[in-house]
Amino acid sequence: MKERGLLIVLSGPSGVGKGTVRQALFAQEDTKFEYSISVTTRKPRQGERDGVDYFFKTREEFEEMIENNKLLEWAEYVGNYYGTPVDYVEQTLESGRDVFLEIEVQGALQVRKAFPEGLFIFLAPPSLAELKNRIVTRGTETESLIENRMKAAKEEIELMDAYDYVVENDSIELACERIKAIVLAEHLRRDRVAPRYKKMLEVE
């Protein structure tokens, strides 16, 4: 029997650059994981293709997929539905290949419940780390603006709790490297590797 693939989930706050990092990752030849194409009810943007960027559906079609348990997770984001087709994920993992999801945070929480063994990566805005520094050094922000920023930052940090790794998106290239390093390390975990060795030696 083949070893099951890894389910890799990249998520993070809106506007952090998840889509850009995902596109950069999949543009690299040595990226071995399979991208799970999502279903959405939003209209295609210029240049987007059905079955490549998304599966574009009507709300009725999407709701039917929810009813028929065809989605591993789904969320409504800025007035549109987005969801992950469960069959593709299951079949690909079963065939031994890794699956990569790039989804917003509500969906990631649902996946965590269904697949606690998944690899959950939080993409963090560099502004989070720079925030305090900037606030202190700049001294030009109004008090209420600072408060708003701090509140938003705190909420973002709280979101991290559901993840295994945090990757700062200070540079797209570095973010991709970090994600690949995490996936590589995950494949080398003793609990994943040991069964293979034991089987080789045919010991219990």
- Smallest gap from Cβ 80 to ligand 5GP, in A, equals 7
Q: Decide whether 55 or 126 has the Cβ nearer to ligand 5GP.
A: 55
Specify the residue for token string 């039917």: 64
Q: Decide whether 109 or 135 has the Cβ nearer to ligand 5GP.
A: 109
Residue 16 marked as a ligand binder = yes
Which whole-number Å values give the CA distances from 169 to 48, 71, 129, 176, 177, in the listed order? 24, 29, 11, 9, 11
Which strands make up the sheet holding 99-102, listed edge to edge? 34-35, 99-102, 7-11, 119-124, 165-168
What b/e readout covers 82-100, taking b as 16+ CB neighbours within 10 angstroms? bbbbbeebeebbeeeebbb
Contact residues for ligand 5GP (CB under 6 A)?
14, 18-19, 38, 42, 73, 75, 77, 82-84, 102-104, 106-107
- Answer for the pair 89, 72: CB distance below 8 angstroms, yes or no: yes
Residue 12 marked as a ligand binder = yes
Residue 17 marked as a ligand binder = yes
Tokens describing residue 130: 């720079």
- Smallest gap from Cβ 3 to ligand 5GP, in A, equals 26
* Residue 154, C-beta contacts closer than 8 angstroms, at least 6 positions apart: none
Q: Decide whether 82 or 165 has the Cβ nearer to ligand 5GP.
A: 82
- Smallest gap from Cβ 15 to ligand 5GP, in A, equals 8
- Smallest gap from Cβ 18 to ligand 5GP, in A, equals 5
Q: Decide whether 24 or 135 has the Cβ nearer to ligand 5GP.
A: 24
Which residue ranges are tagged as binding site? 12-19
Task: Return binding residues for ATP.
Answer: 12-19
